[in-house]
Amino acid sequence: MPTIKDVAKHAGVSRSTVSRVLNNHPYVDEEKRRSVKNSMKELGYLPNSSAQRLRGTQTRTIAVLVARIMNPFFSAIVDAMDEVANAHSYRLILCNTRNSKKQELHYLQLLRTKQVDGVVLASLENDWSVIEPYVAYGPIVVCNEYPPENKSVTVVTINQTKAMYAATTHLIEKGHTAISYCNVIGHSASALSEDRRKGFVQAMNEHRLPMKKTWNFKGHSIESGRKIVSEMLALAEKPTAILTGSDEVAAGVIAQSKMEGLSVPGDLAVVGFDDQAVASLLEPQITTIRQPTEELGRKTMELILSIVTTGEMEVGTYYFSAPLIQRQST
């Protein structure tokens, strides 16, 4: 997909000149104007909504799609985004998809119909092949999750494989050989979900430890965590540790374990993910992967506003570190 930068290079002018042409600025040399328009035609460059906003049709509004606004992880990211947006006189529209593919596509129509200047996807419900066509309608930045093979958007995330590998290795170093794994992602085939599991599998394989199907669980809430404990207790061979992939699930696991008379971490070690407030407030405090929510949110909003303002986007991924925070649950 050609960018303003490509047009400028092809026409032999500066990017600001291309922007002025898109903006119908009166003080542009006619020869340069023709050169820019010819280059746009030859390269197949279609001015996206960013260019249209430069011509005076901007909404100064960004739509942010999240899976579950009740999840403190999303709340923290959106709060950081909102701070940056406000500083630049932009506003956010918060779109709660509730893990619905249909609802996600409904909100993406806001970009297609030019009701917003750009979209941030903090979660992904549909396959990327379904979402990708919307890139043609305007700027999209993906935060947290990401396409399996990114060739069209800017992504801000952490190295999920590395993070889960560290969490699994931590439990192994604590002496655990029977480790349960919980997938918290609604879309089980998502790149994030697969990469997290890769980290788990890598660590387990390196130490030649079993990965039993009966030790695999799914869930994304406190109630899910409670249910997992009940399912564990029904197993003939029970795991001694669990990687929950979410502090909410971890909190549910710990709460239900106490009700069942189990000791954490004595009978069951628990690792969360995100480092939400509950991780340090619960007793015992939760060992978890700290997601840099503020940094993720701020960087994402800075990038989407930059694309909206300049019309320029660099396809690629920005990674932030996500350290393991050891507490009492392991």
Per residue of the chain (330 residues), what is the pLDDT tens digit?
678 888 899 999 998 888 878 776 767 888 998 999 899 888 877 665 444 544 456 899 999 999 999 889 999 999 999 999 999 999 999 999 998 999 999 999 999 888 999 999 999 999 999 999 999 889 999 999 999 888 889 999 999 999 999 999 999 999 999 999 998 765 556 899 999 999 999 999 999 999 999 999 998 899 999 999 999 999 999 999 999 989 999 999 999 999 999 999 999 999 999 999 999 999 999 999 999 999 999 999 999 999 998 888 888 999 999 999 999 999
Instruction: Indicate the CATH number of 4-47 among 1.10.260.40, 1.20.140.10, 3.40.190.10, 3.30.70.1400.
Output: 1.10.260.40
CA distances for 50 relative to 72, 283, 293, angstroms: 31, 49, 27
**Which residue intervals of the chain bear CATH 1.10.260.40?**
4-47
Cα–Cα distance measured from residue 149 to residue 144, given in angstroms and rounded to the nearest whole number:
15
The CATH class of 160-290 is alpha beta
Q: What is the pTM of this model?
A: 0.79
**Which residue intervals of the chain bear CATH 3.40.50.2300?**
56-157+293-320, 160-290
Q: Which residue in this structure is represented by tokens 């994030």?
A: 192
CATH superfamily for domain 56-157+293-320: Response regulator (3.40.50.2300)
The arrangement of strands across the sheet holding 61-66 comes to 91-96, 61-66, 118-121, 140-143, 154-158, 316-320
